[in-house]
Amino acid sequence: MYGLARNLLFRLPPEQAHGVSLRGLDMAHRLGLLKLVVDQVAPLPVEVMGLKFPNPVGLAAGLDKDADHVDALGALGFGFVEVGTVTPQPQPGNPQPRLFRLPEHQAIINRMGFNNQGLDHLLGQVDRMRYQGVLGINVGKNKATPDDEAELDYRKGIAAVYSRANYITVNVSSPNTPGLRDLQFGDALKRLLAAIKDEQTLQQQEQGRYVPIAVKIAPDMDDDGVRFVAQALREAGMDGVIATNTTIERQAVAGHALAAETGGLSGAPVRAASLRVIEGLYAELGESLPIIGVGGITDGAAAAEKIRAGAKLVQIYTGFIYRGPALIGECVEAIRALGSR
C-alpha cells in the first residue's frame, strides 16, 4: 500500500509531497485508520542516556521541524521521535527548489537551511500533543547569528525546550547554514560544549530534572577529526553523540543529473561514511558515551550494522521516505536478531 502511495506522491515536487504526506498521516491518525494499515512493532526495550525506549529505532530530526505531526508519527511504532531543527527565531530557509530526490540511489539532496517557525511555535505544538513516548528536540542557531555568538542561540534553545524534551540534540553539522560545521572543530567546539554544559547545569538546578544532551556531527571528517570530537564530547560531559548528519560528498552519486546540486546528501550513499564515523567514535569512547547511529538506513541490515559497530540507538529519515512505516519494524527485528546470535 505504501508503495502505491509513494508512486503517487513522487509525481509531486518533493517539498509539496512532503507536506501532503504529513497532512494525510495526520488525517489518518485522527480517523483511527493508522492502526488498520500499519503493522504493530513488537517491543524491544532499551535504556540509553538514562531514558527508557520501547524500541531502539527512532525518527531523525528534519522530517517534522516544527513538531506539527508528532502524534501521527508517534503512532507508527517509532521508539522515539526527534523534532526540529528549531532556531530561536523563525526563518524561511533557503530559496526553493531546495529538496531533490535521487530514487536510483535511494537518496535525497536537501539545502533546506533550517526553515522553521521558531521556538514559540514548536513549544506550543509540543504542549498540545498527546504523544507519550520519548521526544527529542533538536536545536540550532539562526542563519543571521554570527558564529562567534552561536552559543547564545544554543543556550536560548536549550533553555526554552528543557522542560518539554526527554533529550535535547545540538545540531552543529548541517551543511546548509554557512559556517555551522566550523563549530565541530578545535577551540570553537570546546567553547561551545562548555557553554552547552553550563546551560544544562543551570536548567537542571532551576527545574529540578536532568535532561540529557546529545551532539549531532557530520560524516565528512577524517579519523583524527573523529577522535578529536570524541575526546571533546567526553571531556565536556555530553550525554550522547548522533552520527551522522548528511554529507557534502558526491562520489557515491557521481554522474547523476542532480549530483551538482548543493546541500546535504542523505540516504543509501551516506551509509558507509556514517558507519566509519560510528566505528571511530566507538573505538575512542567505548561504553562511556552512547552513540545514536543515523545515515543510510534503508533496510534492517543497515540498522543492525550500526548497532554492531557500537550504536545503542538508530534513527531513520530518508529510508523512511522510500520504504514507509514497514522499515521501522524491519529494523527492530534485525536488531532483535543480533541478540539471538
Look up residue 19 and give its amino acid. G
**Identity (one letter) of the amino acid at 292?**
I
Examine the residue annotation and report whether 340 is marked as an active-site residue of this protein. no
Adjacent-strand bridge partners of 116: 91
Determine how many CB atoms are found less than 10 A away from the CB of residue 40: 8
Taking a C-beta distance cutoff of 8 angstroms, is the pair 169, 82 a contact? Answer: yes
CB-based burial, 68-95: b 16+ in 10 Å, e otherwise: bbbbbbbbbbbbbbbbbbbbbebbebbe
- The grid cell for 137 is 528536540
Backbone phi and psi for residue 118, each to the nearest 5 degrees, phi listed first: 90, 170
Cα–Cα distance list, 143 to 73, 112, 116, 172 (Å)? 28, 12, 12, 12
Quote the CA–CA distance of 339 and 341 in Å, as a whole number.
6
Say how far apart CA 165 and CA 158 lie, in whole Å: 9
How far apart CA 118 and CA 142 sit, in angstroms, is 9
As to burial, measured by CB atoms within 10 angstroms (0-12 exposed, 13-18 middle, 19+ buried), residue 202 is middle
Active-site option among 21, 174, 266, 274 = 174
**Rg of the chain over all Cα atoms, to the nearest angstrom:** 18
Catalytic residue list: 174
